[in-house]
Structure 1
Amino acid sequence: MNFQIQNSNSYDTDEIFRLYKIATDFQKTRFTHHWPEFDRHLIETEILENRQWKIVSEGKIVCVWATTFDDPQIWEERNEEPAVYIHRIATNPDFRGQNLVSKIVEWAKIYAQENQKQFIRMDTVGDNSGLINYYTKCGFEFLGLLKLKNTEGLPAHYDNATVSLFQIDLNSK
């Protein structure tokens, strides 16, 4: 199957929200923390700033995620280090089991280097051993848990949350 990674565009917004809803509904069946309904303006801004991404295959959106180069409320003092942060990976259920996070990691390594970043970072809410194992198999180092101190302005699922932190250090490879 041929996969292409591209920036999302405004025509993708409804599909992005459909994938978020599917992911959130799945999270509700398994976990106490789940994604809230995201603000449409947030997604539209990410699209305009070329920070919302998609994997496409045969004209279908396979997977979406967002990136940023700044995440101080979650990464605190480590935010000063040059990193690309990956958020909200949501997969089209028709494409589950395709090892998409590994494809995102391979893309992110190039993207980080092109943008002079040393680290690829991700977080998840809670202590989910299944996700921890999966992300480490995809190349991330699990850095441990962090109780968030200041969640003002972050999506609701971060309120009073403990997060699992992950990173890939491109200089250690």
Structure 2
Amino acid sequence: MITAEQSNTDNIYIREVSSESDLEESLRTVKTSFITVAKDFNLTEKDNPSNPAFTNITKLKEMKVNGVKMYGLYVGIKQEGFVAIEKANDEIFYMERLAVHPTSRHKGYGRKLIDFVVEYAKQNGGKKVSIGIINENERLKNWYKKYGFEETGLKKFEHMSFTVCFMEKVLL
């Protein structure tokens, strides 16, 4: 069973978010990471209340109670990344709220989190990892494509000011 990943060279590791203080630290990581995207796409809490930039501790606690697994990526003692994993069914796992602190981007941490989710899904019988992103975010879409994700559909939700692009990575 996968529980954590460690790289001794840089003291980078991924561990499950378990305590109240872990959740609060994860909330800061998610909000700080997603607010840059919200600004880039002119998202507001009023127009896009479900966007992770506007999430709160209650929402994270609800996710945890509903069985969503949450992991933080740490460099030393500081959390620099976050990801949530939800089992949709026996074959599909959702990767949610993948976040890397803006000052820590372009260091391979996002890739480490993707690799962690893929391995977690495989070890738990998953055949696919599925995500939803802002369709208009071409840079992010291309980044996911580089890691083997393919577009599977688009959907415009009434409560969002953008189109959601659904993507999947088939696990080998």
Q: Distance in 1 between matches of 2:153 and 2:109?
A: 23
1:167 aligns with 2:168: yes
Paired residues, number: 154
Alignment partner, residue 89 of structure 1: 98
Alignment partner, residue 73 of structure 1: none
- Which consecutive segments of 4 or more residues in structure 1 shift more than 4 A? none
Unpaired stretches in structure 2, ≥5 consecutive residues: 1-9, 45-50
Unpaired stretches in structure 1, ≥5 consecutive residues: 71-79, 152-157
Residue 117 of structure 1: SS of its match in structure 2? coil
Q: Which has the higher helix share?
A: 1
Distance 1:83 1:11, change over 3 A: same
1:104 aligns with 2:122: no
Q: Is the 8 A contact 1:33 1:126 kept in 2?
A: no
Q: Distance in 2 between matches of 1:50 and 1:86?
A: 10
Q: Give me the CA root mean square deviation.
A: 2.3
Q: Is the 8 A contact 1:147 1:162 kept in 2?
A: yes
Alignment partner, residue 19 of structure 1: 29
Residue 116 of structure 1 and its aligned partner are, at CA, apart by 0.8
Q: Distance in 1 between matches of 2:35 and 2:59?
A: 20
Residue 55 of structure 2: SS of its match in structure 1? coil
| Identity score, percent | 21
TM-score by length of 2: 0.76
Alignment of 1:97-136 (within 5 A): 97-136=106-145
* Greater alpha carbon shift after TM alignment, 83-92 vs 35-44: 35-44
Q: Distance in 1 between matches of 2:62 and 2:39?
A: 30
Residue 81 of structure 1 and its aligned partner are, at CA, apart by 6.6
